[in-house]
């Protein structure tokens, strides 16, 4: 019983002593003599440079946002799903897009509008017209690009300029405008972190030659523009790498050069013109090459050339017999493709990338092994 009492008593003494010190300090400050020669009339605060004074970098951001944001679309999709009891459940999705011409064409991601029964668009110009109803003109699922259109009626649209994304450099400043988590017309900035990335976004969708950026990209940014410091579109923001699903400084954009080609096809013909080689291949890797005693360690084993297809017409030969490797049956005896247009190939993706950059009627130079002989053959691409 004595210990707590002693503690309380000591605490009171300490408290009273501390109060006396404070009173003494206050008394000395306010009641004692003062040397007025050191008293200033007002605090010496740092002066503001005034409203409207911004750095050169800030002025670039402000001007780009002012010009570009009216053309950035908030895309709202509506569909109906069914619960366990087959009750209709309305589902709303959201993403971004951007106007590319005065006719109301808007580029976005395929995954933004996939399965939508109704598509609505709210433009970033904050016009009193409210939401536009959009129609889907077409899409390229493999490249995750879609084209929708609104009827602007008497509204003068301000389309964005599409840049040449083949001339980009790592370190360039970039700006992203979109609608993350529904917050319309949000601007984020960063740099190009890397170029030429390959990103698989689903079982059937790849972003080839993706632009990697550290500009914050979140859910809802998909389909929005990635801009250079001239306010021109260099890519379509499409994916992020993040375990949490939010911005982690690693975002990816589809190069606008590819998206522009897709949009051109869809506007003109309502479909995408795909280059077609007409060949079935199997990746050749070192262990398989050793098993087959192949003349190359990497490449593409031609399994079959489509009859009367571009590859067959060029003279490419498929396998003429089968062997079993593990649980897989492999056609052997055919050609082995080791390079396309001088670029080494190691898998199906390398072939797809080459075709993605070509148009029907273009010519591919295939470097192949036929037996132990190495030769080049030229194939004129068809259309799928």
Question: Diameter of the chain by CA atoms?
Answer: 110
Q: Give me 156's structure tokens.
A: 């003068």
Query: Cα angle at 292 between 287 and 295, to 5 degrees?
Result: 90
Catalytic site residue from 69, 222, 238, 354: 222
Question: Dihedral through CA 349, CA 351, CA 357, CA 358, nearest 10?
Answer: -150
Whether 275 contacts 355, CB under 8 Å: yes
Active site residue: 69, 105, 111, 335, which one? 111
CB-based burial, 105-127: b 16+ in 10 Å, e otherwise: bbbbbbbbbbebeebbbbbbbee
Kindly tell me the sign of the dihedral angle through the C-alpha atoms of 212, 218, 220, 221: negative
Q: Please indicate whether residue 144 is annotated as part of the active site.
A: yes
DSSP string, 54-122: --HHHHHHHHHHHHHGGGEEEEEEEEEEE-TT--EEEEEEEEEEEE-STT-EEEE-HHHHTT-SEEEEE
The answer to whether 266 touches 351, Cβ cutoff 8 Å, is no
- Tell me the C-alpha distance between 104 and 217, whole Å: 25
Active site (annotated) includes residue 350: no
Q: Is 111 a catalytic residue?
A: yes
Report helix, strand and coil shares of the chain as percent, to nearest 5.
Answer: 25, 35, 40
What is d(CA 184, CA 49) in angstroms, rounded to the nearest whole number? 31
User: Residues 368, 351: contact at Cβ < 8 Å?
Assistant: no
Catalytic residue among 140, 144, 209, 350: 144
Containing 191, the helix (H) or strand (E) segment is strand 186-200
* Residues with a known catalytic role: 111, 144, 222
């Amino acid at each position: 019983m004595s210990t707590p009492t002693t503690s309380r008593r000591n605490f009171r003494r300490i408290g009273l002593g501390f109060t006396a010190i404070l009173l003494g300090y206050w008394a000395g400050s306010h009641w004692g003599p003062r040397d007025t020669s050191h008293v200033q009339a007002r605090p010496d605060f740092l002066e503001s440079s005034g409203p409207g004074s911004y750095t050169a970098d800030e002025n670039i951001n402000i001007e780009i946002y002012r010009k570009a944001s009216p053309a950035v679309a908030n895309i709202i999709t509506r569909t109906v799903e069914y619960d366990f009891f087959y009750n209709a459940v309305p589902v709303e999705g959201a993403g971004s897009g951007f106007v590319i011409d005065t006719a109301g064409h808007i580029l976005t991601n395929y995954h933004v509008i996939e399965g939508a029964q109704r598509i609505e668009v709210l433009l970033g110009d904050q016009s009193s017209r409210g939401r536009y109803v959009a129609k889907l003109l077409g899409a390229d699922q493999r490249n995750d690009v879609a084209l929708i259109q609104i009827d602007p009626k008497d509204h003068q649209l301000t389309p964005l300029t599409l840049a040449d994304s083949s001339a980009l450099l790592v370190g360039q400043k970039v700006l992203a405008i979109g609608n993350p988590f529904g917050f319309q017309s949000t601007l984020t900035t960063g740099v190009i972190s890397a170029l030429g990335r390959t990103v698989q976004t689903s079982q059937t969708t790849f972003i080839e030659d993706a632009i990697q950026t550290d500009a914050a990209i979140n859910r809802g940014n998909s389909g929005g523009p990635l801009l250079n410091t001239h306010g021109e579109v260099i890519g379509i923001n499409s994916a992020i790498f993040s375990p949490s699903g939010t911005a982690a400084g690693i975002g990816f954009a589809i190069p606008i050069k590819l998206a522009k080609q897709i949009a051109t096809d869809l506007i003109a013909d309502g479909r995408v013109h795909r280059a077609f080689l007409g060949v079935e291949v199997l990746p050749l890797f070192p262990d398989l090459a050793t098993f087959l005693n192949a003349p190359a360690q990497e490449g593409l084993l031609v399994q079959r050339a489509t009859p009367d297809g571009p590859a067959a017409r060029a003279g490419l030969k498929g396998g003429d017999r089968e062997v079993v490797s593990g649980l897989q049956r492999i056609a052997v005896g055919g050609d082995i493709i080791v390079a396309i247009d001088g670029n080494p190939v190691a898998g199906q993706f390398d072939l797809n990338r080459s075709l993605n950059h070509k148009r029907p009627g273009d010519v591919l130079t295939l470097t192949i092994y036929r037996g132990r002989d190495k030769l080049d053959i030229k194939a004129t691409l068809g259309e799928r």
